Amino acid sequence: MDFLNAIITFANFVFIPGLAYGAQLALGALGVTLIYGILRFSNFAHGDTMAFGTMVTILVTWALQSVGISFGVLPTALLALPVGIVVTALFVLGTDRLVYRFYRKQKAAPAILVIVSLGVMFIMNGIVRFIIGVDEQNFADGGRFLITAGEFKTATGLAEGLAIKTTQGITLISAVIVCAALFWFLNKTRTGKSMRAFSDNEDLALLSGINPERVVQVTWIITAGLATIAGVLYGLDKSFKAFTYFQLLLPIFAAAIVGGLGNPLGAIAGGFVIAFSEVTVTYAWKKVLTYALPDSLAPEGLIQLMSTDYKIAVSFTILIIVLLFMPTGLFKGKSV
C-alpha cells in the first residue's frame, strides 16, 4: 500500500506536471528548431511570439465569453485558438517581409539576424504590453479537473490523491495531435519534403527548383501556429503574464539545443528532458521517500536538491553539459 502511495504521490507532483510542462516546452522548442533549420538563426523573439499569440487568443476568448459562447467543459480559449494562430501567422509573415527578408537577401551573418530578432522581440513585447498590459490574466474556464484528489482517494481507497487538471489533459492531447500532424506534414507532403530538403542542403534544394521564399513562408506559418498553441496551453495551465513568456525562452532554447538544433524529433525529446529535470531537481522528495522506504530509513529533511527558484539553473546546467560534451545535441542537430 505504501508503495502504491509513493507512486501516486510521485505521479501527482512530479510525473503529470512534468509531462504537461514538457509538452509545452516541446511545442515551443519545435518552433525554435524549425526557424533554425530553415532560416538558420536563433530566434530570440520566439518567447514574445508565444505571448503575442496567447494575447490574441485571450482577447478573442473574452469576446466569445461576452456574447455567451462557451465550449462546455473545455476552455473557450480552444475555440479562439484558430483566430490567434491566423493573426500571429499574419504578424510574423509581416515581420519577415519587412525585416528578415532584407537580411536573408544580403546573406547576413547569423549574429546579425539574432540582433535583428532582438529588435523584433522589443517590438512584440511592447505591443503585447501596450494592448493587454503587464498584469496577470487568467483565462481558463470550463471544467477544472478531470479527476480531483478527493475523487481519486474515494475511488481507490489510497491515502494519497491524484489530481489531473483539465488543462493538463488538453495540453497532452493537443501536443500529441500537433506533433503527429507536423511529422506527417514534414514527411509525407510535398511542401514538407521540400522544407526538409531546404534544411539539409540549401544549394541542392535551390538547384532542384524549390522556391525558397515559399519554404520560408510556410515555416513562419507553422512556427506561428506552434508558438500560439504552446503559449495558450502554458497560459491555460499556469496563467498569462507578458513577462513570464520571455523567461520561457531559456528552457525552450535549452530544449531545442539539448535535442539538437534543427532536429524536430530532438526538440520534443529535449522538451521532456528539460521539464523532468527541472521538476525532479526542485521537488521535495520527503513524502515519496517516506512512503517508499522502510520506517527506519525515512528522511528527516525535505530532500529537496534545489529550491524551486533555481529551476532556471537546472535547464541551464543541462544545456551547458550537453553543449560541452555533445555539441550537436542528443539527436544529431545540424549545428557545430
CB atoms within 10 A of CB 94: 11
First CA to last CA distance, the chain: 51
Per rule CB under 8 A, count of chain residues that contact other proteins: 49
For other proteins, the binding residue among 126, 154, 201, 332 (CB under 8 A) is: 126
Give the separation between CA 322 and CA 317, rounded to whole angstroms. 9
Give the shortest CB-91-to-other proteins separation in angstroms: 14
119 touching other proteins, by CB under 8 A: yes
112 touching other proteins, by CB under 8 A: yes
Give the shortest CB-305-to-other proteins separation in angstroms: 8
Give the shortest CB-71-to-other proteins separation in angstroms: 27
Give the shortest CB-209-to-other proteins separation in angstroms: 31
Q: Which is nearer to other proteins, 82 or 119 (CB)?
A: 119
Give the shortest CB-250-to-other proteins separation in angstroms: 5
For other proteins, the binding residue among 1, 67, 134, 207 (CB under 8 A) is: 134
Give the shortest CB-16-to-other proteins separation in angstroms: 25
Give the separation between CA 129 and CA 188, rounded to whole angstroms. 40
On the 0-12 / 13-18 / 19+ scale of CB atoms within 10 A, 197 is middle
Q: Which is nearer to other proteins, 71 or 310 (CB)?
A: 310
- 283: which residues sit within 8 A by CB, 6+ positions away? 13, 14, 304
User: Residue 313 in 3-state DSSP?
Assistant: helix
Site for other proteins in 307-326 (CB under 8 A): 307, 309-310, 312-313, 315-316, 319-320, 323-324
Q: Which stretch binds other proteins (CB under 8 A): 80-88, 126-134, 170-178, 198-206?
A: 126-134
150 touching other proteins, by CB under 8 A: no
Is the Cβ–Cβ distance between 53 and 322 less than 8 Å? Answer: no
For other proteins, the binding residue among 101, 200, 327, 332 (CB under 8 A) is: 327
For other proteins, the binding residue among 52, 234, 253, 291 (CB under 8 A) is: 253
Site for other proteins in 77-96 (CB under 8 A): none
Q: Which stretch binds other proteins (CB under 8 A): 108-116, 192-200, 205-213, 218-226?
A: 108-116
User: Residue 260 in 3-state DSSP?
Assistant: coil
Q: Which is nearer to other proteins, 208 or 247 (CB)?
A: 247
CB atoms within 10 A of CB 154: 10
Give the separation between CA 91 and CA 177, rounded to whole angstroms. 24
For Cα atoms 262, 216, 248, give the angle at the middle one, nearest 5 degrees.
50
Q: Which of 234, 84, 77 is nearest to 140 (CA)?
A: 77
Q: Which is nearer to other proteins, 190 or 309 (CB)?
A: 309
CB atoms within 10 A of CB 32: 27
Give the shortest CB-218-to-other proteins separation in angstroms: 23
Phi, psi of 109 (to 5 degrees): -65, 150
Q: Which is nearer to other proteins, 207 or 297 (CB)?
A: 297
Torsion of CA 65, 73, 24, 83, to 10 degrees: -40
- Supply 188's cell numbers: 509525407
Cα–Cα distances in Å, from 275 out to 170, 184, 186, 327? 17, 25, 25, 20
Which residues are near other proteins by CB under 8 A? 41-42, 44, 99, 102, 110-112, 114-116, 118-127, 129-131, 133-134, 243, 246-247, 249-250, 253-254, 257, 305, 307, 309-310, 312-313, 315-316, 319-320, 323-324, 327, 335-336
